[in-house]
């Protein structure tokens, strides 16, 4: 009996020590102990982590407060926050492949850390309302400090699954692989790269594509390839898109309801395509029908929630169809500056 008691106590102590180690190392973000890059993160996950680090630093520069947020996908990431300083200190929280749950998670995260922003500028992609692919992305699910902002309360079964995952050989190996990198950095956020030869960020979250802009300036940027590659993605999306996902609408309206309760000013717009790409999508896919449905829906949303909706869908208003676009969907710096001017002009007209 004494041996059994000693064995059980030893096992309990080992289990507790292992759990403490798991809480500290946290290779899979199970416990939300730090904003740190998980192993084998893809670009979308890394970008979300980078924005977490950047927004904390930006808030610290403003005595712990952020006045406004730019939300949306990679199609808003070149929109300069400095163009909207009439609203105070604005941060660009745009991330690749963002859906409405990303926007809601970012808003709640910033609000929970620094207080509710009083200005939201939200770019909405028509494709983000696709019934086939409307929910939280894998990139969002991988970043627990963000995903927990929208995650449903865990059931007992969920907690049991977490325990089984943590007390597994694979998880122990992940901890062993993560610990050396963690120990090398007194500040866990220092493990997240904020700059590379390819891209980096301004303090306000605006992305800078160093490599891309160098090739553009040198005249070696393969615009045709970039245009075709991006267009092919949206041709596939809109050929199979039928209707707008109710869940995507619900996620957007949850964000708007919370922002209105926090007395925030909200400005919405639908992201545009490069003019030639717009014509191709309109001819070959269901894009015109889905766009018309989204316009009708957002017009009603703007009325019900008393938010502003801008119409900046005509890509010709962004300037030169090649120089002002990186490809078929992403405005280049001149195009983004023109978009900012259009949105500002529309705000001044209110």
Fold of 35-158+186-348: Rossmann fold (3.40.50)
**Can you give the pLDDT of all 350 residues of the chain as single tens digits?**
677 777 677 777 787 777 777 666 666 555 544 444 444 456 888 899 899 999 999 999 988 889 999 999 999 999 999 999 999 999 999 999 999 999 999 999 999 999 999 999 999 999 999 999 887 888 888 888 898 899 765 555 656 666 777 788 877 877 777 677 666 654 545 567 788 889 999 999 999 999 999 999 999 999 999 999 999 999 999 999 999 999 999 999 999 999 999 999 999 999 999 999 999 999 999 999 999 999 999 999 999 999 999 999 999 999 999 999 999 999 999 999 999 999 999 988 65
- Which residue carries 């316009």 as its tokens? 295
Judged by DSSP in three states, 108 sits in helix
Alpha-helical regions (H) of 128-168: 138-142, 144-147, 156-166
Distance CA 3, CA 1 (A): 5
pTM score, whole prediction:
0.83
Q: Could you give the C-alpha distances from 175 to 29, 139, 142, 144, 318, in angstroms and in order?
A: 11, 21, 17, 17, 49
| Residue extents of the structural domains in the chain | 35-158+186-348
Estimate the share of the chain in helix, then strand, then coil, as percent rounded to the nearest 5: 60, 10, 35
């Amino acid at each position: 009996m004494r041996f059994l008691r000693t064995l059980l106590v030893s096992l309990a102590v080992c289990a507790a020590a292992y759990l403490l180690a798991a809480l500290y190392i946290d290779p899979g973000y199970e416990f939300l102990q730090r904003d740190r890059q998980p192993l084998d993160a893809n670009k979308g996950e890394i970008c979300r982590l980078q924005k977490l680090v950047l927004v904390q630093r930006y808030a610290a520069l403003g005595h712990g407060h952020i006045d406004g947020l730019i939300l949306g996908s990679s199609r808003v990431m070149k929109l300069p926050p400095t163009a909207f300083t009439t609203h105070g200190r604005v941060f660009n929280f745009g991330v690749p492949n963002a859906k409405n749950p990303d926007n809601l998670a970012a808003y709640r995260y910033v609000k929970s850390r620094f207080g509710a922003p009083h200005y939201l500028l939200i770019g909405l992609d028509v494709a983000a309302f696709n019934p086939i692919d409307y929910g939280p992305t894998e990139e969002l699910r991988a970043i627990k400090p963000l995903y927990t902002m929208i995650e449903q309360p865990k059931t007992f079964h969920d907690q049991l699954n977490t325990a089984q995952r943590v007390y597994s050989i694979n998880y122990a190996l992940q901890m062993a692989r993560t610990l050396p990198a963690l120990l090398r950095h007194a500040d866990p956020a220092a493990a997240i790269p904020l700059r590379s030869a390819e891209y980096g960020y301004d303090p306000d979250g605006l992305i800078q594509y160093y490599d891309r802009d160098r090739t553009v300036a040198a005249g070696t940027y393969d615009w045709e390839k970039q245009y075709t590659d991006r267009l092919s993605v949206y041709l596939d999306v809109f050929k199979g898109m039928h209707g707008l996902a109710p869940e995507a609408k619900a996620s957007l309206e949850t964000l708007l309801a919370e922002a209105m309760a926090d007395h925030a000013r909200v400005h919405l717009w639908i992201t545009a395509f490069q003019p030639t790409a717009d014509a191709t999508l309109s001819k070959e896919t269901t894009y015109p029908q889905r766009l018309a449905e989204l316009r009708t829906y957002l017009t009603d949303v703007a009325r019900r929630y008393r938010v502003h909706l801008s119409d900046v869908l005509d890509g010709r208003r962004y300037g030169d169809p090649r120089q002002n676009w990186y490809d078929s969907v992403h405005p280049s710096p001149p195009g983004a500056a023109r978009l900012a001017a259009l949105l500002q002009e529309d705000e001044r007209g209110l």
